[in-house]
Amino acid sequence: MSSLTITAGNTRTTRLDMSDAAVDNLTVEATGAISVSANAQSVRFTGATTNAVIDNSGTIENTAAGGRAIRIDSGVGTSFTAEITNEAGGVIRSADDALQIQSSITAGNIALTNAGSITSTSGQAVDFASAEGVTVIIGNTGTISSGANDAIRTGSGAVITNSGTINGGTTAGFTASTDGVDFRAFGGTLTNKTGGDISADRHGINAGDNGVAGYITVTNEAGATITGRNGSGVGSDGAGSVTNYGTITGAFSNDPASDVNSDGAGGTPDGTPDGDGDGIDFDFAATIVNYGLIQGTGAGGHGSDGFANTSEGIAAGGGTITNHTGATIIGAGIGILVDDSSRGNAHAMTTITNDGTIEGTALEAIKLVSAFADSVTNNGTITGGNGTAILFGDGDNTLTLGETSVITGLSDGGGGINSLVYDGWSTGVVVRLALGAATGTDGIAHFQNVTGTDQADTLIGDAGPNTLAGGGGNDRLHGAHFDTLKGGTGDDILTLTGNPALADGGDGRDTLIVNSDAIFGAGSIVDVERIVVGDGFTADFGQLTTDLSIASRSGAGGGVDITGGAGADRLQARLGDDVLNGGAGDDLLIGGGGGDTFVFDAAGFGRDTIARFANGHDTIEISTALAADFDALTVIDQGSRTVIDFGAGDMIILRGVHAADVDASDFLFV
State the amino acid at position 668 in one-letter form: L
Query: What single-letter amino acid sits at 498?
Result: G
Q: What is the mean pLDDT of residues 471-486?
A: 95
* 3-state percent breakdown (helix, strand, coil) of the chain, nearest 5: 5, 45, 50
Which of the four pLDDT bands, split at 50, 70 and 90, describes residue 176? confident
Q: What is the CATH number of the domain that holds 534?
A: 2.150.10.10
- Nearest Cα to Cα of residue 280 among 308, 324, 320, 307: 320
In a domain, 28, yes or no: yes
The three-class DSSP label of residue 620 is strand
Q: Which of 117, 146, 175 is the last residue of a domain?
A: 146
Q: Are 149 and 121 in contact (CB under 8 A)?
A: no
Q: How many CB atoms lie within 10 A of CB 624?
A: 10
Residue at 565 is within a domain: yes
In-domain check, residue 629:
yes
Q: In terms of residue numbers, what domain contains 37?
A: 1-146
Residue 271, domain member (yes or no):
no
Give the per-residue pLDDT at 490.
96
Identity of the highest mean pLDDT range in 208-212, 262-266, 443-447: 443-447
Domain-terminating residue out of 114, 146, 178: 146
Q: Is residue 1's pLDDT more than 80?
A: no
Instruction: List beta partners, residue 579.
Output: 561, 597
560 assigned to some structural domain: yes
pTM metric for this prediction? 0.94
303: Cα within 13 Å, side-chain hemisphere: 15
pLDDT at 11 over 90: yes
Residue 645 included in any domain: yes
Query: Averaged over 324-328, what is the pLDDT?
Result: 98
| CB neighbours of residue 184 within 10 Å | 22
pLDDT at 173 over 90: no
Answer yes or no: is 329 within a domain: no
What is the total count of domains within the chain?
2
Tell how far CA 243 is from the center of its chain: 17
Contact 366, 383 (CB under 8 A): no
The predicted model gives 365-375 an average pLDDT of 98
Confidence grade of residue 427 (pLDDT, cut at 50, 70, 90): very high
State the average pLDDT over residues 629-654. 96
Give domain status of residue 612, yes or no. yes
Report whether 266 contacts 306 (CB < 8 A): yes
Q: What is the DSSP letter of 523?
A: T
* Among 554, 444, 558, 539, CA closest to 497: 539
Please give the average per-residue pLDDT across 165-179, as a whole number.
92
* For range 327-345, the mean pLDDT: 97
* Main-chain phi, psi angles of 74, to 5 degrees: -60, -20
CA 162 to chain centre: 31
| Residue that is last in its domain, among 116, 146, 176 | 146
DSSP 282-300: ESS-EEEEESSEEEE-EEE
Which of the two residues, 268 and 564, has the higher pLDDT score? 564
| Average pLDDT of the chain to the nearest whole number | 96
